[in-house]
Amino acid sequence: MAMVLQLTTFLQQWLYSRPDVKALGKESDAVRLGIIGGSAMINAASIIHPAETHPGARIVAVASRDIKDAQKAAKQFNIPKAYGSYEELLADPEIEAVYISVPNGLHGEWAIKSLQAGKHVLLEKPFTSNGLEARRVFDEADRAGKICVEAFHWQFHPAAHVVKSLIASGKFGDIKRTFARMVTPKGTIPGNDIRWKWDLAGGALMDETYALHATRYFVGADNETLLPTGIKPTVLSAISKPWSKDQRVDSASWADLRFDLEGGKTVESKIYVDMDQPNLALVIPRAWELPSIEIECEKATIYYFGFMMAHVYHYISIYDKVTKHTTYQKHYNYGPKWKDVGDPHWSTYRYQLEAFVDKVRGREPKHWITPEDSIAQMESIDAIYMKNGLGVRPVTGELEGQ
């Protein structure tokens, strides 16, 4: 399902990248970006098209380990420079910041190398292979005095902030429980895809980490002045369905979690992620099961459907337990944090880029993913993998020679 959503995003952003709606010109101090991982399918939606409509961002180079892949991407998207190695791109003094979309297991290695090269980093999710590596990356960011942020694009969208504000208002009382899911129909992800590679930190819990992240975000503290905290759950139980071709990789995972909050309050949460969900009658994908989260409060149940790519389609339903009535909302711009910036056509990635450019240029972003949040996310994934018996994902570079 995630791949279907990405394809829809490509179409949506291509339509929004017509010459008449592209940024009329680039600012003189536009952030000069390079892409590490030039052959990644996600690049067009996640960084290239968003940069086309942002006057403060310019893609100046793309790198792949195969120069032909880099040249193909450069030609297709009118990127000035193509490099046949990541090292060459990092040596380019024109580049200020990099977007990294290499396989999961290589995230930490190339984030650290990019920071050491003096570049700011926008790093795809999941942030690293495990929590320890996440801490290493941010330690390097501190030493380098550079910005490094996890590209959890979904959380930058106005609809996510509306849901958060509904909870934070206290109108519906405390959260009692949550349930988040993200699934991909069986057969959608080819058997040779990097998502199935154990040594590249593959697996359902890693690739579909959005379900856990959404749970942590909506349960954790946040308001107009307080950024999300590094809240972590206690893992009560966790099971996985090992992939048939490699028992170390989870094709699906389920977890029961408990969040212990201030004042002795607790929230019970469930997550379900599946990269190989069986189709109905073996042939009909469950296309209606977009990533979603249900949040039951004392006085109402809030359901946020389609949260991962809310720009494609989403809705927020609120079932009032007192009146027994359900109301619906949709928010493609504005919201609590984007009152003076944004457009209904903007994707989650475009909102994310807006915040990243602001941060690089020393301005206060409308929203941000903190280092504490990314570390807590990876440590929570580690805890679930330990509980279900698969163990913490290894750092790819440390597997060499084994």
| φ, ψ dihedrals at 348, nearest 5° | -55, -35
Please count the residues of the chain: 402
Say if residues 175 and 296 touch (Cβ distance below 8 Å): yes
Name 303's bridge partners: 294, 317
How far is residue 78's CA from residue 310's CA, in Å, rounded to a whole number?
A: 28
**Sheet order of strands, 120-123 included:** 81-83, 57-63, 31-36, 97-100, 120-123, 148-150
Q: Per the structure block, which two tokens stand in for 28?
A: 């003189």
Find tokens 């969208």 and name the residue.
157
**Dist. CA 356–CA 146, nearest whole Å:** 12
Catalytic residues: 125
Instruction: Give the rounded distance of the alpha carbon of 285 from its chain centre.
Output: 24
